[in-house]
Amino acid sequence: MSRPGPAALQIRRAVQHWAARYGAPSTVAVAVSGGPDSLALLAGAVAAGLEPVALVVDHGLQPDSAATAARAAGQARSAGARRADVLTVIVDAAGGPEAAARTARYRALDAHRDGLPVLLGHTLDDQAETVLLGLGRGSGARSLAGMAAWAEPYGRPLLGVRRAVTRQACAELGLDPWDDPHNTDARYTRVRLRHEVLPLLEEVLGGGVAQALARTAASLRDDNDALDALTPAPSGDELPVADIEHLPPALRRRALRAWLAGRGARALTAAHLAAVDALVSDWHGQGPAAVPGGSAGRRLQVHRTGGILSAW
């Protein structure tokens, strides 16, 4: 590889800072798609003194996906990975192609990481898009807090780095990244945010929008962590309403979210949580509230009977 320039050095410093803050082991896994973000992250991990293992997921969604995955694995080895494993998955979950691919990808990464933390190449731009998506969907503070730099077993060292920097780092290091055609397909909401909405906001508001959205995420994450620490953690199959009805709404809904997660609820939205919260805060004999369950197509029904909540 070529001598590192300023972009590659920025990537290396970001990885070093992340590794020092979260106590990363010397060997880590890196999810590598072959795109500029993941390749730059892998090279940065090597430059930071880590020994990365590359995990390349072949989603099988394009005719040449196997060749693309093999090329990404070769690039990863050239960038200094200890080894590069191609993980072939079947994308068949419900929820649309993006969600289904993400579910299959994370399942494969978790199954093959061998106990290692997995580094992901999400950048500041990805964080800004995530916050904007959450804002548009009214998903609440937890969604607006965006992606965490560390949420075991996944680490995101590049959340403070712009996407343009990762591409420039690849150029400086002589890496030839792959451009996923899905990243320019306007059928996907995130693509339109990236290429239409965010540039318009930058123009109208005079720049700095992506950075501002990322700062919003960081601030809300700190707030969420503080509130989570103050929230009781109910457990058990039944939840007495009297245990939580006196709590401020922000804490009561967090307690409900934690209890529902323990009952198998998944992918809760603000609307789901509000419906369950109404069984506590606005009880007038209404029927059960439905929330997504632990498997595709399954729903949990949350009932209130005799001052007790139950979910089945």
- What's the confidence (pLDDT) of residue 94? 61
Beta bridge partners of 168: none
Per-residue pLDDT of the chain (312 residues; tens, 9 = 90+): 456 799 999 999 999 999 999 999 999 999 999 999 999 999 999 999 999 999 999 988 788 899 999 999 999 999 999 999 999 998 876 667 777 888 899 999 999 999 999 999 999 999 999 999 988 887 778 888 999 999 999 999 999 999 999 999 999 999 999 988 888 889 888 999 999 999 999 999 999 999 999 999 999 999 999 999 999 999 899 999 999 999 999 999 999 999 999 999 987 888 899 999 999 999 999 999 999 986 656 789 999 999 999 999
pLDDT of 29 reads 98
Query: Is 307 labelled a binding residue?
Result: no
CATH fold group of domain 6-121+157-184: Rossmann fold (3.40.50)
| Residue 245, pLDDT score | 97
Asked whether residue 310 is marked as a ligand-binding residue, the answer is no
What dotted CATH number matches 232-311? 1.20.59
Query: 34: annotated binding-site residue?
Result: yes
The string of DSSP letters for 249-268 reads HHHHHHHHHHHHHHTT--S-
Helix, strand or coil for residue 136?
helix
Task: Report the pLDDT value the prediction gives residue 286, as an integer from 0 to 100.
Answer: 96
Query: Does this model's pTM top 0.85?
Result: yes
Q: Which residues is 119 bridged to in the sheet?
A: 30, 155
pLDDT score, position 103: 87
Q: What is the pLDDT of residue 143?
A: 83
Q: What is the pLDDT of residue 297?
A: 60
Residue range 139-166, pLDDT digits in tens: 778 888 999 999 999 999 999 999 999 9
CA-CA distance, 15 to 9, in Å (whole number)? 10
Going from N- to C-terminal start, the domains of the chain cover: 6-121+157-184, 232-311
Q: Contact at 8 Å (CB) between 279 and 301?
A: no
pLDDT of residue 62: 81
pLDDT for res 19: 98
What type of residue is 236? G
Quote the percentage of the chain above a pLDDT of 90: 79
The reported pLDDT for the residue numbered 167 is 97
Nearest to 25 by CA among 56, 51, 43, 44: 51
What's residue 277's pLDDT? 98
Cα distance between the two ends of the chain: 57
Is 64 annotated in a binding site? The answer is no
- Strand-pair partners of 57: 87
Joined together, the tokens standing for residue 8 give 């590659």
Residues counted in the chain: 312
* The predicted structure's pLDDT at residue 98: 77
3-state secondary structure of 308: strand
234 assigned binding-site residue: no
